[in-house]
Amino acid sequence: MPSTPSTPRPSQSVGTETPTKQSLSSFAPWDRDQLVRRLSTFKDVLWSQLPEELCELEWARRGWVEREDGKKGVKCGLCVADMEIIWDWNQLREAVIEQRESQESIKETAQNGDGILENGTSNGTTDSSHPELPLSDADDVYSKEAIDDLEATTFLQAHYVPLISSGHAMKCPWRTRRTDLTVLRLPPASLSLPSLMSRLSTLSPILAFLPDASQITIPKPLPESLPTTLQDFDPRLVQVGISGWSGSLLGDKGILKCTTCHRRVGLWLFKSTSESNDDILKLDVESLDLIAEHKSYCPWINGQVQSGMAGWEYVYEAVEPRGTLKRNRDGNDDEKESRFKRLRDMLKGIKR
């Protein structure tokens, strides 16, 4: 355990205490609650523009939260490192080249590298022929302008992926360890019928904002008969609830939100208002995809993160009449077997 003087770490960590900025990054890579809260800090649209390897999940797994000083980027509450993230390759390489030049000029005077800037790549040794340059390999990506988006993405990854770990201070424990993906797994309680009921209670007030059933893309049609507790609900609400969404009112509008991946979906985007006279607009209205609206890593839809099936599949099983479920299971040992196999393979893959 590190002792970082600037971060007063509570000796008995997390759980009941109120979420402080510090505790979000206190070193508990096994703690789901902290991971989810770190994820919730990533609000800038920037994160959706970055390739998957640089999405907020990858930063949050390494203890980073979104910085709040107006610059786009991340900070670590534990080692107090912060980093600006420039997602435009050409701007980034200009910034790097500029930084190199200023490093060049102060090279003779001072020689202690660990600034708070986008440093991290200073791998200790100061080779006299090569000053501390980021990625000082022979193949220097910073000399190149990207010819297209694909290349720009590749270069961005080359720059930032190593910084997810090396951007932390030398002594920061997040530098060498990250939260396992399966920590994000939904607890069994979230996949139960009572939990579905509580999501439905938040969804009922936004029923009027939901698009028609034909405008909603669902993962699987509802079973023919539902548990009695669900029968009074509009089937669209049940579908939305099974898919992990809660509802909320935003002024006089309705939104769906996921408390795991923090996606918020404005329902007005999927509904053409009946009083508006625009037939043309109506054609453009997309359908509301209950799966695709979650972030790709969300355990509600990602069976690998959830270890086995996606979250919604577990809830679906919970609302399926017992008879069907049993019949399916009895007649389908192969499927069960392959599911276990998938799980085993997956665990092997994740716990490298």
298 binds Zn ion (CB under 5 A): yes
Map the footprint of Zn ion across residues 214-253, applying CB under 5 A.
Answer: none
Q: Which stretch binds Zn ion (CB under 5 A): 127-135, 167-175, 219-227, 272-280?
A: 167-175
In the range 26-45, which residues lie near Zn ion by CB under 5 A?
none
Cβ-based nearer residue to Zn ion, 93 or 263: 263
Q: What is the dihedral of CA 71, 81, 97, 54, to 10 degrees?
A: -70
Residue 78 interacts with Zn ion (CB under 5 A)? yes
Out of 54, 57, 65, 79, the only residue in the binding site for Zn ion (CB under 5 A) is 79
Q: Which sign, positive or negative, has the C-alpha torsion 331, 337, 340, 346?
A: negative
Cβ atoms within 10 Å of 28's Cβ, excluding its own: 17
Using the contact rule CB under 5 A, the part of the chain among 77-85, 129-137, 188-196, 225-233 near Zn ion is: 77-85
- Paired tokens of 332: 């389908």
Binding piece for Zn ion, criterion CB under 5 A, among 146-154, 162-170, 266-274, 303-311: 162-170
| Least distance (Å) between residue 290 CB and Zn ion | 10
Stretch binding Zn ion (CB under 5 A), from 83-91, 140-148, 169-177, 247-255: 169-177
- Dig out the tokens for 114 from the structure: 């660990």
Per the listing, tokens 């006279």 go with: 277
CA angle 186, 189, 194 (to 5 degrees): 130
The contacts of residue 333 (CB under 8 Å, 6+ apart) are none
Q: Which one-letter amino acid corresponds to residue 189? A: A
User: x/- site string to Zn ion, residues 251 to 290, per CB under 5 A?
Assistant: -------x-xx-----------------------------
Our finding on whether 315 is near Zn ion (CB under 5 A) is: no
Q: Which of 92, 141, 172, 256 touches Zn ion (CB under 5 A)? A: 172
Structure tokens at 65: 């939260």
Distance CA(95)–CA(288), nearest Å, equals: 40
Q: What distance in Å separates the CA atoms of residue 164 and residue 61, rounded to the nearest whole number?
A: 9
Smallest gap from residue 3 Cβ to Zn ion (A): 13
Q: Which is nearer to Zn ion, 61 or 168 (CB)?
A: 168
Return the range that interacts with Zn ion (CB under 5 A); candidates 2-10, 39-47, 92-100, 166-174: 166-174
Paired residues of 64 in beta bridges: 76
State yes or no: residue 199 binds Zn ion (CB under 5 A).
Answer: no
Tokens 């992990």 locate to: 244
Q: Closest approach of Cβ 144 to Zn ion, in Å? A: 30
Q: What is the dihedral of CA 249, 253, 254, 257, to 10 degrees?
A: -70
Number of H helices, E strands in the chain: 14, 8
Please state the closest distance from residue 351 (CB atom) to Zn ion, in A.
23
Q: How many residues bind Zn ion (CB under 5 A)?
A: 12
Region from 46-54, 78-86, 109-117, 145-153 binding Zn ion, contact rule CB under 5 A: 78-86
Q: Tell me: does residue 294 bind Zn ion (CB under 5 A).
A: yes
User: CA 309, CA 230: separation in Å to the nearest integer?
Assistant: 23
The single-letter code of the amino acid at 279 is D
Binding site for Zn ion (CB under 5 A): 76, 78-79, 168, 172, 174, 258, 260-261, 294, 298, 300
